[in-house]
Amino acid sequence: MTLRALHDAAREALDPAHYDYVAGGAGEERVLAGNERAFDRYALLPRVLRGAEDRDTAADLPGARRAAPVVVAPTAFHRLMHPDGERATARAAAAEGAVLITGTAATTAVADVVAAARETAPDPAVWFQLYLHPRPAVTEALVRRAEKAGCTALVVTVDSPVFGRHTRDLRNGFTDLPPGYAAENMRDLPGAPPGALTDIPMSASPTWRDFGELARMTSLPVLVKGVLHPADARLAVEHGAAGVVVSNHGGRQSDAVPAAVDCLPAVVRAVAGRVPVLLDGGVRRGSDVAVALALGAAAVGVGRPVVWGLAAEGEAGVRSVLATLRDEYDHTLALCGGRRNADLTEDMVVT
């Protein structure tokens, strides 16, 4: 099975407007298409006769030692995609040893997400994604909820001072969650009612100072998600980030930015090994994982493929996505003459 087959099954299973919400991007979807197409420009130059047995693909990430190098990126509203929602995603990620980044826009509260992960594995790694809220007290309340739930890291998304213009959602008039669904982490917090898609409140003027304050308000490692410019990666480290996620939000914010993987090498150079760099956007095969790791990523995130697995087959579908990527990556690593992630190096990537 390839991830593409699950996409087709998900498309059949989903309400067309919900399918479009996940599949779509901003504007003319140039960045959405570009993220995937960019990987077609990279090839892997293998090394030979180095011994490729006893492979170990584990990665050490903030708040997640020996995790799979494939992380579940935060995607919203899983209960819309499958009745088991985020609980199924959490159980699948825990079973596959992958970090799950659950988000503020989840339709299941973070405490219930972590509890579901713990039903499957004794020590799962669940990270919590949030935006900088216009009211610092709300940001702090979200941080405390994540800490209390047992999250092992926080991820602050910084590429969304305004909400992306999602053409398909505008065309479909898909602006509100159906009755019975809500962004549960916002419950009982001051701010927007938790039912509108675009009303997860985020600060329109977030600054590095706000980020630094957040990093100081918790003892959890805090990663920055949505960095493309190497100067911002440097600033992130200076302001206490425990990791940098190179991401253009899967083409859902600006429709005029480069493909995420094309931004990775410069960010890796700017960070210079001080913290791990992750990448998301367009990862669809194990060889894409290998390219990103060879270019210096510690791990990759996958967004849409996980939702396709969830929509098609619930927990088993998400497990299938993560297991397929792991097996394909492990296979690619062997074919590159590698036994560890670090055996993949920049000189092995050609364009």
Nearest distance in Å: CB 336, ligand FNR: 23
Site string (300-329) toward ligand FNR, x via CB under 6 A? -xxxx-------------------------
**Contact residues for 26 (Cβ-Cβ < 8 A; gap 6+):** 32, 164, 165, 166, 167, 251, 252, 253, 254, 255
Site string (31-70) toward ligand FNR, x via CB under 6 A? ----x-----------------------------------
Residues 325-344 that bind ligand FNR (CB under 6 A): none
C-alpha 265/C-alpha 139 separation (Å) is 32
Pick from 249, 285, 319, 326: which binds ligand FNR (CB under 6 A)? 249
C-alpha 243/C-alpha 267 separation (Å) is 11
Counting contacts by CB under 6 A, is residue 89 touching ligand FNR? no
Counting contacts by CB under 6 A, is residue 293 touching ligand FNR? no
In the bound complex, which residue of the shown chain has the CB atom lying closest to ligand FNR? Answer: 303
Nearest distance in Å: CB 48, ligand FNR: 32
Residues 154-173 that bind ligand FNR (CB under 6 A): 157
Residues 273-292 that bind ligand FNR (CB under 6 A): 280-283
Nearest distance in Å: CB 19, ligand FNR: 10
Token pair of 86 as six digits: 């985020």
Pick from 250, 276, 314, 317: which binds ligand FNR (CB under 6 A)? 250
Counting contacts by CB under 6 A, is residue 296 touching ligand FNR? no
Nearest residue to 259 via CA among 295, 219, 235: 295
Nearest distance in Å: CB 180, ligand FNR: 19
Q: Which residues are annotated as a binding site?
A: 21, 74-76, 129, 131, 157, 225, 247, 249, 252, 280-284, 303-304
Counting contacts by CB under 6 A, is residue 225 touching ligand FNR? yes
249 catalytic residue (yes or no):
yes
Q: Which residues are annotated as a binding site for glyoxylate?
A: 21, 131, 249, 252
Q: What residues are annotated to the active site? A: 249
Give the binding site for ligand FNR (CB under 6 A).
21-22, 35, 73-76, 103, 105, 129, 157, 225, 247, 249-250, 252, 280-283, 301-304
